[in-house]
Amino acid sequence: METGYISAFWFIVVAAITVPLMLGVGALLRPKSIPTRRGTQAYECGEDPIGSAWVKFNIRFYVVAIIFIIFDVEVAAVLPVATQFKEAVLSGSAGFVFAEIFLFVALLVLGLIYCWVRGDLEWVKGVTQNAPRK
């Protein structure tokens, strides 16, 4: 296995240890805290919190995540093909690789156009910009 990953391992370990280390130093140095009711309240601009903190949110976030994961996967799949392109160009047989990359781009564009036309990329649906108020 490549030795570069040993470095990666140590980086991850050192970075992960940094967090408890810094918090631990703080725990040793700081004065003892006396929690008060106001102090431990969830911050809501100084008012008493209203209702649960775990609010329902816009399903748009979810649609965006779905579009993202499909695009992400396609990019990950095309990377190894992309590494072969230069070699193919220099050896004069780039047509096939180019066709594959073109197909990849075409399919992504197709998916994007579908989402665009059906309005999935609009954050606020049904509200046109500068719509006159009634």
Partner 1 sequence: MTNGMKWILLIAELLTVGSALIVAINPNILYSAVFLLFSFLGIAVMYLFAGADFLAGVQVVVYVGGVTILILFAIMLTQWLYRLKLKDIGSKFVVPGVVLALGLVPFLHRGLTQLGKMVQAAPPEKMAEFAASPKTAMIGKALLTNYVLPFEAVTILLLGALVGAVWLARPKA
Partner 2 sequence: MPVNSALFAQSLTQWTQGTWFASVPIWVWALVSALIIIYMLALPFGGIATYVERKIAADLQDRIGPNRVGPLGIFQFAADAIKMISKEDYVPPGGDRFLFNIAPVLVVVGSCAGFVALPLGQYLVAGDINIGVFYIMAITTIIAPGILLGSWASENKWSLLGGLRSAAQIVSYEIPVALSIVPIILISGSLQIGEIVKQQGWHDHFWNVFHNPFTFISFFILFVGGLAETNRIPFDLPEAESELVSGFNTEFSGMRFGLYALGEFVDVFVMCALVTSLYLGGWQIPFLELDKFWVTLPSGLIALIHVSFFLGKTFLLVFVVMWLRWTLPRLRVDQLMGLCWKGMVPVALFNILGTAIWMWAFKGQSMLQVVSGLFSGGGGSH
Partner 3 sequence: MNLLDFSNSIEGYLLVSSILLTLGIFSVLTRKNAIGILLGVELILNAAGINFVAFSKFHSAAIDGQMVTLFIILIAAAEAAVALAIILRFYRLKQTIDADEASLLRN
By CB under 8 A, name the binding residues for partner 1.
Answer: 1-2, 5-6, 9, 52, 54, 56-57, 59-63, 65-70, 72-74, 76-77, 79-84, 96-97, 100, 103-104, 107, 110-111, 114-115, 118, 120, 125
Report d(CA 110, CA 104) in Å as an integer.
10
Taking alpha carbons only, the member of 34, 55, 31, 53 closest to residue 42 is 53
CB of 36 to partner 3, least distance (A): 38
Residue 104 to residue 85: CA distance in whole angstroms: 14
Ordered alpha helix ranges (H), the chain: 4-29, 37-40, 60-83, 85-90, 95-117
- Give the integer Cα–Cα distance in Å for 120 and 127: 13
Q: Is 77 in the site for partner 3 (CB under 8 A)?
A: yes
One residue of 17, 25, 69, 99 binding partner 3 per CB under 8 A: 69
- Tell me which of partner 3, partner 2, partner 1, none is bound by residue 1, counting a contact when its beta carbon lies within the kind-specific cut-off of 5 to 8 angstroms: partner 1
Q: Does 110 bind partner 2 (CB under 8 A)?
A: no
Q: Choose from partner 2, partner 1, partner 3, none: what does 100 bind? Cβ within 5-8 Å by kind.
A: partner 1
